[in-house]
Amino acid sequence: MEKKKPPITIGRFAPSPTGPLHLGSLVAALGSYAMAKREGGLWLLRIEDLDTPRVVPGMADDILHTLESLGFCWDGEILRQSRRTAVYVEVLERLLSEGAAYPCGCTRAEIARAASAPHAGDEGPAYPGLCRNGIPEGKTARSIRVHSGSEPIEFLDGVMGPCRVDLSRSGGDFVIKRADGPFAYQLAVVVDDALSGVNQVVRGADLLTSTPRQIRLQHLLGYPTPSYWHLPLVTGPSGAKLSKRDNAVSLASGRDLQREGHLLLFDALRFLGQDPLPELRDADSAAILDWAVAHFSPRSIPRTPGLFPRQH
């Protein structure tokens, strides 16, 4: 009997055009690229431009041009979330029809005032379930929430190790369509990853807390759960996460990527715990990316955030 071939690895990089490419997103791009390509897989590119009020005109094109200048090549067509509303509507209607989601009329202020509300989650005060059994009289629907479920979500992150989160006690039922109109990140990313066949998600550790909610949605929709790898964040001397403005690497920020792009890639490898050959510092971007694909060691990725190495 012929042995079944394992599925091809499909990774992705999904920047938001709310600002220029920065050191943190460069680290995520390089890590996701090397992880997918080292296994002979595909590396997809998605522009997460759902949050239209925060999207900066022209920034999506700048990010693409910056990636090209750094030597990155993606597989297939670029996916733009702003053009996928019909897909998200279909999934939302399914969740509502199955009773997995419900309309909510609560404001953030009302949730914060609720005496029974658990501790705050990363998206604000935890939701106490005020509309779970129907919107109270006198209120109108503002957002759509998903039932968080009663079973803890457990997963093994490739960098951070075992994770276990009880969503009912940490954040509660979460929003999948916002009161101001756009579909929430949690829903869009789950749908796009699943329909694109993504089975390896490599991204920054600031999104680690989003993973349990995304896995909850995967379970509800019958989607497979990818492997997750959350990379350490780039910080400033104080230990705080750097802002996009303070660590931009894009063409729009005035970077001369012809002159220093290869140095940025070299130092991003060092930040990820890799040990590139010293002579690669004088190589071009293509050679550094080739080395990363051939030699990248996931086990060497550090768990803790840190300073981006100084260029030499």
Q: Which helix (H) or strand (E) holds 143?
A: strand 143-146
Does the annotation mark 244 as catalytic? yes
| Secondary structure, 3-state, 170-194 | CCCCEEEECCCCCECHHHHHHHHHH
Q: Check 3, 177, 241, 244 and give the catalytic one.
A: 244
Residues 6+ positions from 213 with CB-CB distance below 8 Å: 146, 148, 167, 171, 174, 186
b/e string for 280-298 if b means 16 or more Cβ within 10 A? Answer: beebebebbbebbbeebee
Is 204 in a helix, a strand, or coil? strand
Polymer length in residues for the chain: 312
1 touches 31 (CB < 8 A):
no
Nearest alpha-carbon partner for 174 in 225, 230, 118: 118
Cα(187)–Cα(197) distance, integer angstroms: 16
Residue 131 sits at φ, ψ, to 5 deg, of -110, 10
- Dihedral sign, Cα of residue 273, residue 275, residue 280, residue 282: positive
DSSP H helix total and E strand total for the chain? 8, 12
Which residues are annotated as catalytic? 244
